[in-house]
Each structure stands twice: as C-alpha cells, then as structure tokens.
C-alpha cells in the first residue's frame, strides 16, 4: 500500500475526539492542502513551516465542528481558498469569504497534482472524500472498521449505504482509506481489508445495513 512518491501525505491525530487531520500535497513543489483543520492550528502551521510546505488551500470533508473548528484561524493566517461540497456549504458555520463550493468528481489542483472530490452523503448531506490514485481521505464517511453516524440532523442511512456500496466500494481494492477519526485498531487500511472486517461493508443488502447502522 505504498504512498505515491509524488504525494505528500501526513496524518495527524489532534484534539480531544481522536480526529485525524491531514496534509495532502505535491512533493515536488511542496504545496499542500490541509484537510479538516479543526484542532491545534499552531501545530498545523508549525509542522507545515518546519517541513518547508506551503499551505495552498484547505479541503473540508464536511461541516461538523470537530472538522472545521480551526478553519477561521487558519484562514486568517493563510488567505487560501477552502473547498467544501455545494451540498454541505449551507450548513457550515461561520460563513467565510474564502469558502469555495465544489461539485461531485471535481478535481482540485495542488501544485502539480490533482485531488478528486467524491460526494459521499449519509453522515451529512454533503460529505465528501478526497482521492489521489490509491489514497482516499474519507472524513466521517468511513472509519477503519466503522462508518459515520447516521442518526444526526441531516444524516440519511440510505444515502450512506449508496455512498459506501455504490461509490467507495467501487474503487480498486488497493485503495487505502485514511479516516477522519482514529477509531480503529490501525490508523488506516486498504479497501480489501475493510471489505473483510468492517461490519458496514459486509452487509448482504440495504436492509442488513440499516439494521447494523440504525438498529432497525
């Protein structure tokens, strides 16, 4: 499960809720996107500077506070665009002039690489994952051996089933999942592994999924 050599991928567990924040970027130009800046913006900015990285943009998987708490602060230090799904933007608080709404499958350039946005609603109406080759940053759509809650305002377990089974599970089995929380036994895992051990990816159909996720 090698990380492509041209990609910067750095996983950082920060904050009181086992959140993972990420740097995703271009190893050649050292331009990076910060994914879900919510906790310890000082650490994120120091870490970028010490590695010689230039923060070029922000990517948001969704608008829950534990993924966006640090957005205003990081944008005040780095006046860069922050990309969120257009299906999620109306839920984001506070509003910010740097917010850019994106479509499903839209590609966002970071230096010399392009990261693809995959719309995966279910946990929220506009959850999205970020894909570069075999690397998938999943936010709260899927965790190692788990998936996002579907009982929150704006959640929809049927949409989550579609996102998991018809979007994410259609990706190559070698895809490595990098989740939004450190809830599993390991911090990341391949889709092939998850298709064996994740109880939300091993359901025979939507009824079993709804039973597993919602206790219906």
Phi-psi region of 201 (alpha: psi -120 to 50; beta: other; left: phi over 0): alpha
Q: What is the Cα–Cα distance from 216 to 201, expressed in whole angstroms? A: 17
- Chain positions 34 to 93 lying near Fe ion, rule: CB under 5 A, are 64
Report which secondary-structure segment, H or E, holds 187: none
Which one of 46-54, 92-100, 103-111, 135-143 is the stretch in contact with Fe ion (CB under 5 A)?
135-143
Closest contact distance (angstroms) between CB of 196 and Fe ion is 25
By beta-carbon proximity to Fe ion, the closer residue of 65 and 187 is 65
Q: Which residue is nearest to Fe ion (CB)?
A: 64
127 in Cβ contact with 139 (< 8 Å): yes
- Scored b (16 or more CB within 10 A) or e, 174-198 reads ebbbbbbbbbbeeebbbbebbeeeb
Closest contact distance (angstroms) between CB of 86 and Fe ion is 18
Strand 99-102 relative to strand 107-110, pairing: unpaired
22 in Cβ contact with 178 (< 8 Å): yes
Which one of 42-50, 138-146, 163-171, 193-201 is the stretch in contact with Fe ion (CB under 5 A)?
138-146
By beta-carbon proximity to Fe ion, the closer residue of 25 and 122 is 122
Q: What is the Cα–Cα distance from 22 to 63, expressed in whole angstroms? A: 16
Q: x/- contact string, 146-185, with Fe ion (CB under 5 A)?
A: ----------------------------------------
By beta-carbon proximity to Fe ion, the closer residue of 26 and 140 is 140
Tell me: does residue 140 bind Fe ion (CB under 5 A).
yes
By beta-carbon proximity to Fe ion, the closer residue of 88 and 140 is 140
Closest contact distance (angstroms) between CB of 6 and Fe ion is 30
Q: Which residues bind Fe ion (CB under 5 A)?
A: 64, 140
């Amino acid at each position: 499960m090698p990380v492509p050599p041209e990609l910067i991928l750095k996983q950082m567990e920060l904050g009181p809720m086992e959140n993972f924040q990420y740097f995703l970027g271009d190893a050649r130009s050292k331009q990076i996107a910060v994914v879900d800046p919510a906790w310890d913006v000082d650490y994120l900015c120091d870490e970028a500077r010490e590695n010689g990285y230039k923060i070029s943009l922000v990517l948001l998987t969704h608008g829950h506070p534990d993924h966006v708490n640090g957005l205003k602060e990081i944008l005040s230090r780095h006046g860069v665009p922050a990309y969120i799904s257009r299906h999620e933007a109306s839920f984001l608080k506070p509003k910010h002039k740097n917010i850019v709404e994106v479509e499903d499958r839209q590609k966002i350039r970071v230096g010399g690489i392009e990261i693809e946005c995959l719309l995966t609603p279910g946990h929220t109406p506009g959850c999205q994952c970020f894909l570069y080759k075999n690397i998938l940053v999943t936010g709260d759509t899927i965790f190692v051996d788990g998936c996002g809650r579907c009982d929150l305002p704006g959640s929809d377990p049927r949409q989550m089933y579609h996102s998991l089974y018809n979007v994410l599970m259609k990706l190559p089995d070698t895809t490595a999942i990098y989740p939004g929380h450190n809830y599993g036994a390991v911090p990341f895992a391949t889709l092939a592994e998850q298709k064996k051990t994740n109880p939300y990816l091993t359901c025979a159909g939507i009824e079993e999924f709804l039973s597993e996720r919602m206790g219906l």
